[in-house]
């Protein structure tokens, strides 16, 4: 039996009515949760302001380094505190339960629901390109509800569905890359560095574009949300984080190179369905429709991963705060179904009311704050808990966490200055969670006193 940072026992997954998540499934969850709507949509927003092939690809390299540095730090924290809940659990133990609750509040309200909504909206757009008679919103709602039903049954079905859809997605991307490099007519866009790139890299559009890229990489921490359910979590969760993030980084850089290599940048600029547009350049109209259909099926894997992971944060909050106890309830297969249906309700609301780009910027800003504080926690614990056994230590410490923190601060400053409305909305969402925490903590204290009598 392992224990968390405060010495409290952490039970491993129990056999019988639940099945522990393997390293392969945990790695698949990272890959699936990361490769989603962002890589098939965000390049269009970046190309609207940045016309340098080198600068655009550098965005994806920096994003990959950023994610990998974060995964290294999260690996140490997950091995030290192997419990589900992600940032909520980490920040509660490192700083204060209030900080953890605010992070959990973000995860419950928008942290997973918004990416699910964005992926579903992108899926609807791609699918409606192939079948124009179908409404994108109707498609998005149908797929999201269906996947939620799949994951409400049991973990075995969810694991099989997740692994299958992830393999399909990775295969799709590899085939797309090979075809783009071998049969497409190359564009004249240069990918070599030049003096002109310096101005683009130091510009506000580059920093804002990095928000889109870091959002595209944002699923790199997926395995920590289900840490309690992973086999040998102190060993396998760090491995899953690093394996999954490494695979994604390679695929992302190659995929965006193919987009730019095969398609005129003017055709991509400002467009949402860049994958479909690039496929049209490579395969022609008929092939593009088929590729749009395959991309739609690939996004199913992303939605599935987030539908699976998100309710685990809500479940842990319900375990810690009696007022939310109902949200921690599970069915006989260990699935937190109340938390799952709450998440689905929020997703439906976002799909029906939100615009894609505004949600993307708002979400990226709030998630960056949460992950920044979590990675900084590695430094805090090295000082406050120097003698605590660490099954895994951050490779490259202290440089790799500093790189992550530095890029995060750079993003936050530029985004706040250029997108103040979305940034303030993100801060307001965090602030709204504080009175909820005070009320929940007060009820928890009253409940504890009543039970002690």
Rounded Cα gap, residues 13 and 236, in angstroms: 13
Q: Which residues are paired to 2 by β-bridges?
A: 10
Q: Which of 113, 134, 173, 425 is nearest to 299 (CA)?
A: 173
Q: Which two tokens stand for residue 421?
A: 């409305």
pLDDT band at 117; cut points 50, 70, 90: confident
Q: Which of 12, 227, 35, 196 is nearest to 119 (CA)?
A: 35
pLDDT band at 357; cut points 50, 70, 90: low
- Residues 118-150 have pLDDT tens digits of 888 888 887 887 788 888 899 999 999 999 999
pLDDT band at 2; cut points 50, 70, 90: very low
Backbone angles phi, psi at 251, to 5 degrees: -65, -40
188 alpha-carbon distance from chain centroid: 34
Q: Note the pLDDT of residue 354.
A: 64
Helix 23-34 vs helix 155-183: crossing angle, to nearest 10:
60
Segment 414-441 mean pLDDT: 84
Helix 204-216 vs helix 37-47: crossing angle, to nearest 10:
170
- Does 7 fall in a domain? no
Q: Please, is 198 exposed, middle or buried when counting C-beta atoms within 10 Å of its C-beta (0-12, 13-18, 19+)?
A: exposed
372 close to 408: Cβ distance less than 8 angstroms = yes
Q: Note the pLDDT of residue 19.
A: 46
**Host domain of residue 54:** 16-443
* CATH code of the domain in which 270 resides: 1.20.1740.10
pTM: 0.80
Residue 448 reports pLDDT greater than 60: no
Q: Note the pLDDT of residue 221.
A: 86
Alpha helices in 86-135 (DSSP H): 87-94, 97-106, 113-130
Question: Cβ atoms within 10 A of the Cβ of 93, count?
Answer: 23
Rounded Cα gap, residues 312 and 340, in angstroms: 9
- Does 1 fall in a domain? no
- Which of 28-32, 58-62, 107-111, 226-230 has the highest mean predicted lDDT (pLDDT)? 58-62
How many domains does the chain divide into?
A: 1
């Amino acid at each position: 039996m392992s224990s968390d940072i405060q010495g409290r026992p952490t039970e491993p997954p129990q056999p019988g009515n639940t099945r522990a998540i393997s390293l392969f499934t945990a790695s698949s969850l990272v890959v699936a949760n990361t490769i989603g709507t962002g890589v098939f949509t965000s390049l269009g927003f970046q190309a609207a302001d940045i016309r340098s092939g080198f600068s655009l690809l550098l965005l994806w390299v920096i994003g990959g380094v950023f994610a990998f540095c974060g995964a290294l730090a999260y690996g140490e924290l997950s091995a030290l505190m192997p419990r589900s809940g992600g940032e909520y659990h980490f920040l509660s133990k490192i700083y204060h339960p209030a900080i953890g609750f605010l992070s959990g509040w973000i995860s419950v309200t928008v942290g997973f629901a918004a990416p699910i909504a964005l992926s579903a909206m992108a899926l609807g757009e791609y699918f409606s390109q192939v079948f124009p008679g179908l409404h994108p919103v109707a498609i998005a709602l149908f797929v999201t509800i269906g996947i939620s039903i799949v994951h409400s049954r049991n973990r075995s079905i969810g694991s099989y569905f997740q692994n299958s859809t992830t393999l399909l997605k990775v295969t799709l991307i590899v085939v797309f890359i090979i075809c783009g490099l071998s049969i497409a007519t190359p564009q004249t866009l240069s990918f070599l560095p030049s003096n002109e790139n310096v101005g683009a890299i130091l510009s506000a559009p580059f920093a804002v574009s990095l928000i889109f890229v870091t959002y595209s990489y944002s699923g790199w921490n997926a395995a920590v949300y289900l840490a309690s359910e992973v086999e040998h979590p102190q060993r396998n969760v760090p491995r899953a984080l690093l394996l999954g993030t490494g695979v994604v980084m390679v695929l992302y850089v190659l995929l965006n190179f193919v987009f730019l290599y095969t398609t005129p940048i003017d055709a991509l600029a400002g467009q949402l369905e860049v994958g479909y547009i690039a496929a049209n350049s490579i395969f022609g109209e008929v092939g593009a429709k088929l590729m749009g259909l395959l991309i739609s099926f690939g996004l199913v894997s992303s939605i599935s991963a987030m539908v699976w992971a998100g309710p685990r944060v809500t479940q842990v909050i319900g375990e810690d705060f009696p007022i939310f106890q109902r949200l921690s309830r599970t069915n006989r297969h260990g699935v937190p179904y109340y938390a799952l249906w709450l998440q689905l309700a929020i997703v439906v609301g976002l799909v029906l009311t939100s615009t894609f780009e505004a949600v993307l910027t708002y979400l990226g800003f709030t998630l960056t704050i949460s992950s920044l504080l979590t990675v900084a926690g590695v430094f805090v614990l090295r000082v406050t808990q120097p003698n605590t056994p660490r099954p895994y230590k951050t490779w490259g410490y202290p440089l790799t966490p500093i790189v992550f923190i530095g890029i995060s601060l750079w993003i936050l400053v530029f985004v706040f200055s250029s997108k103040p409305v979305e940034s303030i909305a993100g801060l307001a969402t965090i602030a709204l969670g504080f009175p909820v925490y005070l009320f929940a903590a007060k009820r928890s204290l009253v409940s504890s006193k009543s039970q002690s009598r």
